[in-house]
Structure formats: structure tokens, C-alpha cells
Amino acid sequence: MVQSNQPEPQDRYGHEPYDRKARKLAAKLALVHQKRCQILARRLLAGYSARAEVAEDIVSEALLDVVNRSLVPDFRVRASFRTFVSTVVHNKVVDWIRRTGAERRANARASIRQENTEGCTESQSPDDASELHKKALGVLSEVEKAVCHLHYGDQFSHKKISELLKMPENTVKSHLSRARRKMGNILRS
């Protein structure tokens, strides 16, 4: 008998290949829980503008993850398999919510940047917009201007600003809030 020095094939997790019975068993267990998982995903996504297809996609991805995790040789479920599957689905839904929230915030920031680079609306000239900004900044005290510049211009945290200006952190927050309110009133009028 000839011995081969080639290593055994491994799956993407670096484990030895599994027999087909184990794979089929894990897939059947996942299918048993599929309907309940879709209901769970829809409930969790109810407050968000997600379509039913999104819930189905998340559940499919979660069940595939469950099958892959359950095939690892040292896999152990501390609770019931049902709880394990529900936890994986829940985590996938939370990941989706966080990811879409981050995308929305990034899109909102991009649209604000685009509006700011345009400098003004169609009804205003660029000179009118800069005059309006100067007027809004003119109503602020020197401390409020400094705090706004450090927070919005230099992107410093409240804590860092409080250390730089040697004032309590809550005072920095109060100055920012007051400045936003004053500037908002001027810009709205």
C-alpha cells in the first residue's frame, strides 16, 4: 500500500471534512427551526422599514451559519439547540440594523457635505449665505465660539475640550447646546 504525504482536505474553518450524515442532520435541524426564525426576524425588524425578503435573507444567512458552526468537531450548545438558533438569528438581525443605520448616517453626512459645498440654496447668493453664517456666529460669546470651533471644527470630544479649557465637561455640553440653540434661531429666521 502506497502512503500519500498529501494532507487531508480541509473546510474553510481549517477542520477535517465531515461525513454527509452530519451535514444532512444539521441542515434538517436548521430547516425545522426556519419558520420560527423567520417570525422572530420579522418581529425584530418590525420597527424598521425592512421588507419580508430582508428577514428571509437574514434567516437564510443565520441558518447557514448555524449549520457551519454545528459541524465543528468541538461544538457544544450550552442551552437548547432552539435557543442557539434563535440567538444566531437575533445577532444577525442586530448586525443588519447596525449596518443599515451606519449606511444611513453615512448617506446623511454625505448629503449634508454636498449641501455645504454648494454653500447656499437657489434663492440665496453665496454672499448672502456667508453673511448669514457671520451673523449667526456673531451672537455667540467668545467661550461658545471656542467650544464650537473645538468640537465641530477640530472634532474634539467633550472631555478633551473640558481639559483644554479647564472647565467641567457638563459646562462644555451646556455651551454647545446654548450655541446650537442661538445659531439655530438666527439661521431659521
- The total number of structural domains that make up the chain: 2
Boundary of a domain, candidates 111, 135, 157: 111
Boundary of a domain, candidates 88, 111, 134: 111
User: Where residue 126 falls among pLDDT bands split at 50, 70, 90?
Assistant: very low
Q: Is 11 a member of any domain?
A: no
Q: Which of 59-73, 82-96, 144-158 has the least mean pLDDT?
A: 59-73
Same domain, 28 and 102: yes
**How far apart, in whole angstroms, are the C-alpha atoms of residue 102 and residue 109?**
10
Same domain, 102 and 36: yes
Same domain, 133 and 82: no
**How far apart, in whole angstroms, are the C-alpha atoms of residue 58 and residue 176?**
41
Q: Is the pLDDT of residue 75 over 80?
A: no
Write the pLDDT tens digit of every residue in 136-189.
778 888 888 888 888 887 888 899 888 888 889 999 999 999 988 888 887 776
**How far apart, in whole angstroms, are the C-alpha atoms of residue 157 and residue 172?**
10
**How far apart, in whole angstroms, are the C-alpha atoms of residue 69 and residue 81?**
12
91 sits in which H/E element: helix 81-118
Q: Is 13 a member of any domain?
A: no
What is the chain's mean pLDDT, rounded?
75
